[in-house]
């Protein structure tokens, strides 16, 4: 669920060059020196009206618009400037930097490659090239650029940023320990740069030599650097002291309301958190959204984009919306909102989901966990108070990228591949950084113990022959037979489909799989996992415990091998297990959104009651307990019954599920009254959906299923769509799901 964080210490392009550019015109120089961006914009446009090729005005116009957060206008200005001056390094690097900030990294790449050709001795050019490469997965290229930058860096900001880029690419290339060391060197140079602390903590997760206590200590160091100067300005939040049972404003703060693993666990909560009790705000911290972001905008009652704002500005925006409880979803991962939390943006602040350890901030009051993932003695590892849910710490929803694919035939569980292959295939689709030497060595013992077995490993960069050959050689040096390896490049379009090739999944350790383990189990693949001693090493423990499959948990390496061999010993039994596992998973706490949402809401209310009691009776725990006890009889009786599901139709418009059903049926009736679509000549022929009426049915059905998975009415309507277009297999699949959903409602 994690990714690295962006650098904070490097300025956009080269401020020195911009000042030199402005010195040719005193008015430009004065506006730039005063940081009067509207004035600078007007002056640049005046100059360009007289001289459309003015290099200085072209350079400064995009820069000034960027400073005013007019990003589309800035990009338009840079595109026009580029047409005149395609070989100007200063213009190109600022243009590329704006593209990167808006997550257009593919567009930025050729400009930065050109800058490196034009200015090969300037560290900042190589730093920006390395930064650009990360988001698009060019880690070897990015790492080489970062090392070039390390050699060329002359100032502290350049050295810090070069080391940061080196660290993030090292981690993706499996050099975890070296990545941590780069972060530590950067911190020593610039102790006030938060990005390097976040990256260090993120990379420490995958280092098998790092203990939970060491990780907690590093997080507390982060808190000790950034929090003390802010504490004196923390608000008292007197205006929030309302009643125990008032409707609360709940803010979710995240950069990951987009195509991201966090959305597999957040979407169901945003969609169906009890609106009788809570008003839901989504505060978005990433530069650019996507089709998943559009769903979040519908689910939330309010969607607020805070990307590019300073932490103080983010905190002020949260306060301006009157948020009672703020839930931060990223932790120490990229573009997080932890520094906004350090400003104490809301009376009650909570960490959840994105980072399997402490934030290190005392400003964060609670962390949502459960009774299994964090062991009983785990509280010492956290600055937050652990709030243990009586169910799993999150509820999983598959197919976040494309919700309707969940029902497609190609994603249904298939027979275990050993029946056709006549061999057992073990497999892992985790980040390669988790596959340490210790992990691979143990997996080699499993291959040796199971005759004719294979090991499938999916990961980044394995499409490159040089990388794959080096990885195969590494495995060979650790005792694995290279001829038994199937190295598969990571491609998003193959998500879930690769599991059709795996009989038994192997969980890495000590940093275990997260979303990947949910994916594996939902696709019907059993998994062997090692028991650990902290959250990061116990996700497999919690998932298998709440699933009721603790027999797949190993207490030691020998036990791990034994369990894997036992599962592999009977392919027919393995196949029977596989065919029933998805139903087990969907019926368990792993995917019961209704159970999770209830307990999560209950946790939010408990936190609110505690805060009220503490504000009324500070430093008197007995009086606080008595106050809460006196409030409990006032619990609204109607909240004891499940809330009616709602469907977010568009931002700001939420309707009851029943009303959505009525709209769906009306659309189906209208589609049936219209001329029928052209039928396919054969079952295999693809029929393009052209009728706007059937398209409207499909779009609304997807909106409903995004809010309420397995809704039988929406599924039945989709069956009507597919039947009308001659897609019998799809129609039957939707009807089967609709029938099963109706049974579950009875």
Beta-bridge mates of residue 646: 656
- Which position has the token pair 């001829």? 483
Q: How many residues belong to the chain?
A: 746
390 CB neighbour count, 10 Å cutoff: 12
Phi, psi (degrees; rounded to nearest 5) at 345: -75, -20
| The pLDDT of residue 100 | 93
| The pLDDT of residue 746 | 61
Beta-bridge mates of residue 487: 457
- What 207-214 contacts at long range (C-beta under 8 Å, 24+ apart), as own/partner pairs, is 207/176, 207/177, 207/180, 208/436, 208/438, 208/509, 208/510, 208/511, 209/177, 212/357, 212/378, 212/381, 212/533, 212/534, 212/535, 212/536, 213/380, 213/381
| The pLDDT of residue 489 | 95
24 with 56: CB under 8 angstroms? yes
- Using CB atoms within 10 Å of the CB of residue 681, give its burial: 0 to 12 exposed, 13 to 18 middle, 19+ buried: exposed
303 with 297: CB under 8 angstroms? yes
Identify the sign of the CA torsion 420, 421, 422, 426: negative
| The pLDDT of residue 21 | 56
**Alpha-carbon span 687 to 678, nearest angstrom:** 8
| The pLDDT of residue 558 | 98
What pLDDT, in 10s, does the model give residues 128-142?
999 999 988 899 899
- What 47-55 contacts at long range (C-beta under 8 Å, 24+ apart), as own/partner pairs, is 52/84, 53/84, 53/85, 55/21, 55/84, 55/85, 55/88, 55/91
341 with 349: CB under 8 angstroms? yes
| The pLDDT of residue 164 | 95
- Which position has the token pair 């879930």? 496
325 with 346: CB under 8 angstroms? yes
CA-to-CA separations, 318 to 301, 302, 303, 680, in angstroms, rounded? 15, 12, 12, 53
HSE-CB for 485 with a 13 A CA cutoff? 24
- Provide the CA 249 distance to its chain's centre, in angstroms: 23
364 with 384: CB under 8 angstroms? yes
599 with 237: CB under 8 angstroms? no
**Alpha-carbon span 621 to 616, nearest angstrom:** 11
566 with 506: CB under 8 angstroms? no
Residues of the chain with pLDDT under 70: 1-24, 677-690, 746
Q: Three-state DSSP class for 567?
A: helix
Pull the structure tokens for residue 221: 């160091």
Q: Three-state DSSP class for 376?
A: coil
Three-state SS sequence of 630-698: HHHHHCCHHHHCCCCCEEEEECCEEEEHHHHHHHHHHHHHHHHHCCCCCCCCCCCCCCCCCCHHHHHHH
Domains belonging to the chain, first-starting first, are 15-226 (1.25.40.10), 247-395+592-635 (3.40.50.11380), 415-579 (3.40.50.2000), 655-745 (1.25.40)
What DSSP string runs through 332-349?
SSTT--HHHHHT--SSEE
Pull the structure tokens for residue 179: 């990545």
- Which position has the token pair 């790492």? 143
| The pLDDT of residue 206 | 82
- What 487-495 contacts at long range (C-beta under 8 Å, 24+ apart), as own/partner pairs, is 487/457, 487/459, 487/462, 488/456, 488/457, 488/458, 488/459, 488/462, 489/458, 489/459, 489/460, 489/461, 489/462, 489/463, 490/429, 490/458, 490/459, 490/460, 490/462, 492/401, 494/458, 495/401, 495/519
- Provide the CA 294 distance to its chain's centre, in angstroms: 15
| The pLDDT of residue 583 | 96
131 CB neighbour count, 10 Å cutoff: 27
**Beta strands at 248-254 and 325-328: parallel, antiparallel or unpaired:** parallel
| The pLDDT of residue 20 | 53
Pull the structure tokens for residue 111: 């400009």
331 with 359: CB under 8 angstroms? yes
Phi, psi (degrees; rounded to nearest 5) at 422: 60, 30
What DSSP string runs through 426-460?
EEE-S-GGG--HHHHHHHHHHHHHSTT-EEEEEET
125 with 93: CB under 8 angstroms? yes
What pLDDT, in 10s, does the model give residues 267-279?
999 999 999 999 9
Ordered strands of the 325-328 beta sheet: 302-305, 278-284, 248-254, 325-328, 348-351, 366-370, 385-389
Pull the structure tokens for residue 355: 């980072």
**Alpha-carbon span 208 to 731, nearest angstrom:** 49
């Amino acid at each position: 669920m994690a990714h690295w964080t962006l650098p904070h210490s490097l300025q956009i392009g080269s401020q020195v060059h911009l000042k030199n550019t402005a010195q040719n015109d005193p008015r430009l120089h004065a506006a730039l020196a005063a940081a009067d961006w509207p004035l600078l914009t007007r002056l640049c446009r005046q100059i360009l009206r007289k001289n459309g090729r003015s290099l200085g005005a072209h350079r400064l116009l995009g820069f000034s618009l960027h400073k005013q957060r007019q990003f589309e206008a800035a990009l338009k200005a840079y595109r026009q400037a580029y047409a005149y001056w395609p070989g100007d390094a200063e213009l190109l690097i600022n243009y590329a930097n704006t593209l990167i900030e808006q997550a257009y990294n593919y567009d930025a790449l050729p400009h930065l490659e050109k800058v490196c050709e034009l200015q090969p001795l300037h560290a900042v050019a190589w730093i920006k090239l390395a930064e650009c490469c990360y988001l698009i997965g060019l880690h070897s290229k990015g790492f080489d650029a970062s090392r070039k930058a390390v050699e060329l860096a002359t100032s502290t900001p350049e050295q810090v940023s070069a080391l940061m880029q080196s660290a993030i690419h090292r981690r993706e290339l499996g050099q975890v320990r070296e990545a941590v060391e780069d972060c530590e060197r950067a911190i020593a140079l610039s102790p006030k740069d938060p990005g390097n602390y976040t990256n260090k903590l993120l990379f420490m997760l995958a280092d098998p030599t790092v203990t939970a206590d060491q990780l907690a200590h590093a997080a507390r160091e982060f808190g000790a650097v950034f929090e003390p100067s802010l504490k004196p300005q923390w608000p008292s939040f007197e205006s929030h002291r309302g009643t125990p049972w008032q409707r609360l404003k709940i803010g979710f703060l995240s950069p990951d309301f987009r195509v991201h693993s966090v959305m597999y666990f957040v979407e169901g909560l945003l969609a169906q958190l009890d609106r009788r009790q809570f008003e839901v705000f989504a505060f978005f911290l990433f530069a650019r959204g996507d089709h998943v972001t559009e769903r979040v905008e519908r689910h939330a009652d309010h969607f607020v984009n805070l990307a590019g704002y300073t932490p103080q500005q983010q905190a002020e925006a949260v306060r301006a919306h009157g948020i009672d409880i703020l839930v931060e979803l990223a932790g120490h991962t990229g573009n997080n909102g932890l520094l906004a939390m350090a400003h104490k943006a809301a009376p009650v602040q909570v960490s959840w989901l994105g980072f399997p350890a402490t934030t290190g901030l005392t400003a964060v009051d609670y962390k949502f966990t459960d009774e299994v993932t964090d062991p009983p003695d785990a509280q010492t590892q956290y600055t937050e108070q652990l709030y243990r849910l009586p169910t799993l710490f999150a509820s999983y929803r598959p197919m976040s990228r494309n919700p309707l694919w969940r029902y497609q035939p190609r994603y249904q569980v298939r027979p275990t591949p050993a029946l056709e292959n006549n061999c057992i295939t073990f497999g892992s689709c985790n980040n390669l950084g988790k596959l340490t030497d210790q992990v691979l060595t143990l997996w080699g013992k499993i291959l040796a113990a199971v005759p004719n077995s294979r090991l499938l490993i999916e990961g980044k960069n394995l499409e490159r022959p040089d990388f794959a050959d080096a990885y195969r050689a590494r495995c060979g040096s650790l005792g694995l037979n290279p001829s038994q390896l199937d190295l598969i490049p990571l491609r998003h379009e193959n998500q879930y489909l690769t599991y059709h090739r795996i009989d038994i999944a192997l969980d890495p350790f000590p940093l275990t799989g997260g979303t990947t383990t949910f994916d594996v189990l939902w696709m019907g693949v059993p998994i062997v996992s090692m028991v650990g001693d902290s959250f990061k090493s116990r996700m497999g423990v919690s998932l298998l415990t709440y699933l009721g499959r603790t027999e797949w948990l190993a207490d030691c390496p020998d036990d791990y091998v034994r369990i894997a061999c036992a599962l592999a010993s009977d392919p027919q039994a393995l196949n029977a297990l596989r065919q029933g596992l998805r139903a087990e998973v969907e019926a368990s706490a792993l995917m019961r959104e209704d159970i999770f949402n209830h307990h999560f809401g209950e946790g939010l209310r408990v936190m609110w009651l505690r805060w009220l009691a503490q504000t009324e009776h500070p430093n008197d725990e007995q009086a606080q307990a008595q106050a809460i006890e006196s409030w409990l009889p006032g619990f609204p009786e109607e909240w004891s019954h499940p809330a009616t599901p709602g469907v977010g139709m568009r931002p700001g418009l939420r309707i009851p599920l029943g009303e959505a059903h009525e709209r769906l049926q009306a659309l189906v009736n209208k589609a049936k009254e219209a001329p029928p679509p052209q039928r396919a000549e054969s079952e295999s022929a693809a029929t393009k959906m052209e009728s706007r009426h059937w398209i409207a049915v499909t779009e609304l059905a997807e909106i409903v299923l995004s809010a309420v998975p397995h809704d039988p009415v929406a599924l039945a309507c989709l069956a009507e769509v597919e039947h009308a277009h001659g897609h019998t297999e799809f129609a039957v699949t939707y009807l089967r799901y609709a029938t099963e959903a109706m049974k579950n409602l009875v």
